Amino acid sequence: MSLTRLWEGNKEDWGISTKSATVSYTGPWSSRAADKNTALASTHPDYATLRAITDSIEPFGGASDAGGPMTAKHTVTYQDPTGNPDDKNNQPQNALSDWQEHWEVGGEAITVGLGFKWSSDNKKVTKEDVSAIKVFPTATIAISGTTNKLNSTAKGTLLNLVGKTNTNAVTIKGYSYPAKKLLYLGTGADELGEDSVGSDLYKMAFNYAYRHSNTWNQFWRDDKAGGPGWDTLVDAAGKTVYEDAVFSGMDPKNW
């Protein structure tokens, strides 16, 4: 890069959620395009965590004999790539315990379809049984955080867990959810860019649905022997509605 640092115009902005700095350079007008490409691929000359994001170019000084500028002024802005001005939680959080938690409550109408039977007595569900049996309260839990460890293996693990319940007890923000109480609804992920060492940085959210009174493979049955209650629903082959899986691979510290 054939640029010389121009101290006039240098500026630094430091905050809790964002970090940026501006550095001015001068260089030949004729090589401004190549210099711009080099500048945008660089880090700040004093702070390695700041990376170039823009280069504003304008004529500097007198003109050449041909009437055009001889010198270009490059104003390069650097930012922390882990910073997001709309999100104060912009540093990598590579342990699930550091992520933020959000709960929502609601209700569900449980509908039983044909092709199933009750595991306790093998009685098949008939057409007359197909109805919305009851409405039960439920909770949706979202855990969100930022990580630079989402690689292809982790992506495959998360996608494979969608629609499955937890075989193992899962501790989230200090609370242990018993086995088969959580249904994994999927992951939301937004790529924020790269961190200071070039790793992809993602803002992610894990979404779960939680049942308190029953597990996800238990349904309310009015005609259960001994009175109404929860019973496990299976298909003709004895397979439950939701498959179980180990959820330990969801923690970024294990990726």
State mean pLDDT over 217-236.
84
Question: Could you tell me if residue 84 is inside a domain?
Answer: no
Residues 185 and 138 in one domain: yes
* pLDDT over 70 at 250, yes or no: yes
* pLDDT over 60 at 182, yes or no: yes
Residues 101 and 151 in one domain: yes
pLDDT in tens, 3-18: 999 998 899 998 766 7
Gyration radius of the chain over CA positions: 29
Residues 131 and 58 in one domain: no
Question: Could you tell me if residue 85 is inside a domain?
Answer: no
Instruction: Say how many CA atoms lie within 13 Å of 146 toward its Cβ.
Output: 18
Q: Which residues pair with 232 in a beta bridge?
A: 218
* pLDDT over 70 at 22, yes or no: yes
Question: Could you tell me if residue 161 is inside a domain?
Answer: yes
Residue range of the domain that includes 144:
96-254
Question: Could you tell me if residue 220 is inside a domain?
Answer: yes
Question: Could you tell me if residue 215 is inside a domain?
Answer: yes
Residues 195 and 118 in one domain: yes
Q: Is 220 exposed, middle or buried (0-12, 13-18, 19+ CB in 10 A)?
A: middle
Residues 37 and 117 in one domain: no
Specify whether the CB–CB gap between 167 and 129 falls below 8 A. Answer: no
Final residue before a domain boundary, out of 51, 79, 107: 79
Final residue before a domain boundary, out of 79, 111, 140: 79
Final residue before a domain boundary, out of 79, 108, 138: 79
Helix or strand run (H / E) with residue 24: strand 19-28
Residues 147 and 72 in one domain: no
State mean pLDDT over 84-113.
72
Question: Could you tell me if residue 70 is inside a domain?
Answer: yes
Residues 102 and 204 in one domain: yes
Residues 19 and 107 in one domain: no
Query: Look-up: residue for tokens 């899962």?
Result: 170
How far CA 199 is from CA of 42, 148, 202, in Å, comes to 16, 6, 10
Residues 74 and 117 in one domain: no
Question: Could you tell me if residue 87 is inside a domain?
Answer: no
Structural domains in the chain (count): 2
Residues 100 and 75 in one domain: no
Residues 56 and 136 in one domain: no
Question: By percentage, how much of the chain surpasses pLDDT 70?
Answer: 85
Question: Could you tell me if residue 142 is inside a domain?
Answer: yes
Strand duo 69-79 + 19-28: pairing? antiparallel
Among candidate residues 145, 155, 141, 136, the one with its CA nearest the CA of residue 208: 141
Instruction: Quote the pLDDT of residue 127.
Output: 66
* pLDDT over 90 at 153, yes or no: yes
Q: CA 241, CA 18: separation in Å to the nearest integer?
A: 47
Instruction: Quote the pLDDT of residue 84.
Output: 52
Q: Which residues pair with 23 in a beta bridge?
A: 76
Q: List b or e across 13-49, with b for residues whose CB sees 16 or more CB atoms inside 10 angstroms.
A: eeeeeebbbbbbbbbebeebeebbebbeebebeeeeb
Instruction: Say how many CA atoms lie within 13 Å of 193 toward its Cβ.
Output: 14
Instruction: Quote the pLDDT of residue 115.
Output: 64
pLDDT in tens, 35-82: 999 999 999 999 988 989 999 999 998 776 667 788 999 999 999 876
Residues 100 and 68 in one domain: no
Q: CA 52, CA 175: separation in Å to the nearest integer?
A: 42
